[in-house]
Amino acid sequence: MSGYAQDNGRFSGGFEGNTNFFIRDEKIGAANIPQYDHQLIGAESWLSLNYSNWGFDVGMRFDLFNNSNLRDPNGSYSDQGIGRWYIKKSVGDLKISGGYLYDQIGSGIIFRAFEERPLLIDNALFGVRLDYQLSDNWSAKAFTGKQKFLFDRFPATIKGASLDGFLSFGDPEKGQKVWSISPGFGVVNRTLSDEQMADMVNIVKTYLDEDRFKPVYNVYMASVYNTLSAGPITWYIEGAYKTDDQFYNPFAIRQTLSGGESLGKYVREDGFVGYTSLSYAARGFGATLEYKRTENFDVRAEPQQTQNRGLISYIPPMNRLNTYRLTARYSPATQFIGEEAFQIDLRYSPNRKWSFLANFSNITNLEGEQLYREVYTEIMYKMKRKWQLKGGLQLQTYNQEIYETKPEVPLVETVTPYAEFLYKFTRRKSLRIEAQYMNTDEDFGSWVFGLAEFAIAPHWLISMSGMYNLAPAERQNTETGDIETPDPILYPTFGIVYSNKATRFNLRYVKQVEGVVCSGGICRLEPAFSGVRFQVSTTF
């Protein structure tokens, strides 16, 4: 990040702003929210300013939301204020931080305070943190505070501590192979407020005896993790446990006072997550094997919160993060109640011209029901610096019933070949073309997508793309309730980007089909969008 220096002090900061101009299009389902009906324009922005001097780091961020659909894609949200401030000071080996803090322990399974602006997640911890450098290789930290929620905070308190180290073995001067470990250990505790407990008691006392439990104020989580690095091998392993705590299990059956049954109830159970990643990289070949098992690990600053709100833990996703429009159309959200998953990623580059990639991921619930499976292959050929061609095939199985709560729909099975061609006319001018075809009989049916992007470095990027519902599948009309095969719809996008040093302006006309949008491994179902998007970002 760039910055200003004055009297030994240093300013730095950044701005990010989005403006959406909503253009109603009932044909694609972009309608019936206030923005399409009468608000017409929505905006959100973040302006941050940081200053460092006299051993202090201070910063603050102004957040603004005006008729924004970022918090809730089906609604409108307006508010503004100081979204973040912090002060940090180092005193010898001790570093003191206060304010709104971002941090995590291990891979984040027991604690992660983070921000994902595309989903309006800002789980900063409002509190204090002490970091102490015990030696060159060992550090410890402890923190306490409350989790941020928009411009407010959840009343539960969060406390945690961790110890992280680095140990290196072997002396190359003696001909010994060098290897190292980075062990760590962390604990986190969440304590509900009296008001939160009173609400939980109110809920539980309406349960029949067979569903009742005694709620607890405290949940404790502990995690042990280590990274082993030995030559071409890197092995990360983490095991996390949480004590029994109340959480909402949407799959549990509740007996109701009226004599019926309903799906979903609060339960009090302990939980576990095991995660490991083994990588090998040498001489153009790379392989990564990952495995994860999750049992009852839904830990929140307020148990009554739903979706992505109030999450204290972050469980890493176990599928490839795809970037092409159609290969990224179906993406599995992490399941907190039960999930078993593995992923294999293989890469091979025999020379500078050719490279190959193959990825396989498989996700089931703990009963073995298939949730997601993906086979992804890619071959790339580079012709010096003049052009490059990339292509491959993706096969997916996606459980729409689970990920999108759509009853009695079959597993979505897709076959998606894709290609990307990049041609450099000169050192400054280049053309990139994408083509994808998704074949499926389920959900919306088959799609074709094409994109052309012309770049004039370093300032301009002009693009146009179209996503066309080539063979729409028969489905229920959400207006009439009738089963019908809709007409094919074209979803075009035109965009122009201007960049000047750290500043970037992006103007796009967008028609976007409904789908799952994932950011940072967290996903949510987004409705269709129709309109113009203008984005500005800069750092200074």
Q: Which stretches of the chain bind another protein, using CB under 8 A?
A: 32, 34, 72, 74-77, 134-135, 137-138, 140, 149, 152, 154, 161, 163, 165, 185, 187, 189, 197, 199, 201-206, 212-218, 220, 222, 243, 248, 250, 254, 256-258, 260-266, 304-306, 401-402, 405-408, 476-483
Cβ closest to another protein, residue 7 vs residue 209: 209
In angstroms, give the least distance from the CB of 141 to another protein.
11
Least Å distance, CB 397 to another protein, is: 16
Smallest distance from another protein to CB 5, Å: 37
Name the residue nearer to another protein (CB basis): 16 or 199.
199
User: Residue 506: which of 514, 515, 497 has the closest Cα?
Assistant: 497
How far is it, in rounded angstroms, from Cα 61 to Cα 117?
13
Q: Which is nearer to another protein, 14 or 118 (CB)?
A: 118
Distance between CA atoms of residues 518 and 524, nearest Å? 6
How many CB atoms neighbour CB 480 within 10 A? Answer: 8
Shortest distance, position 419 Cβ to another protein, whole Å: 36
- Closest to another protein by CB, 207 vs 454, is 207
Over 265-304, what HEC string results?
EEEEEEEEEEEEEEEEEECCEEEEEEEEEEECCCCECCCC
Of 20 and 48, nearer to another protein (C-beta) is: 20
> Can you read off the two tokens belonging to residue 105?
């322990």
| Residue 147 beta carbon to another protein: minimum distance, rounded to whole angstroms | 12
> Exposure pattern of 100-120 as b/e (b: 16+ CB <10 Å)?
bbebbbbbbbbbbbbbeeebb
Is the Cβ of residue 136 or residue 487 nearer to another protein in the bound state?
136
Helix (H) or strand (E) holding 203: helix 194-204
Token pair 């795809």 in the structure block, residue: 322
Separation in Å, CA 452 to CA 10, 322, 456, 496, 497: 42, 19, 13, 12, 14
At residue 129, the 3 state secondary structure works out as: strand
Residue position matching structure tokens 């094997």: 289
Among residues 296 and 436, whose Cβ is nearest to another protein? 296
For 35, 53, 68, 121, the CA distances from 72, given in Å and listed in that order, are 12, 39, 8, 11
**b/e code 157-180 from CB counts within 10 Å (16+ = b):** bbbbbbbbbbeeeeeeeeeeeeee
CB of 335 to another protein, least distance (A): 14
Least distance CB 410 / another protein (angstroms)? 11
Q: Which is nearer to another protein, 266 or 372 (CB)?
A: 266
Minimum CB–partner distance for residue 203 and another protein (Å): 5
Q: How many residues does the chain have?
A: 540
- Which of 6, 206 has the CB closer to another protein? 206
Closest distance to another protein from the beta carbon of 150 (Å): 9
CB of 136 to another protein, least distance (A): 9
**What tokens appear for 295 in the block?**
């049992």
Residue whose CB is less far from another protein, 207 or 348 = 207
Q: What is the identity of the amino acid at 435?
A: A
Tell the smallest beta-carbon distance from residue 286 to another protein (Å).
Answer: 33
Residue that is written with structure tokens 């969060």 in the block: 158
Cis ω before 458 (30° cut-off from 0): yes
Q: Return contacts of 160-168, CB within 8 angstroms, 24+ apart.
A: 160/105, 160/110, 160/111, 160/186, 160/187, 160/188, 160/189, 161/186, 161/187, 162/105, 162/106, 162/186, 162/187, 163/138, 163/139, 164/138, 164/139, 164/140, 165/137, 165/138, 165/139, 166/137, 166/138, 167/137
By beta-carbon proximity to another protein, the closer residue of 508 and 524 is: 524
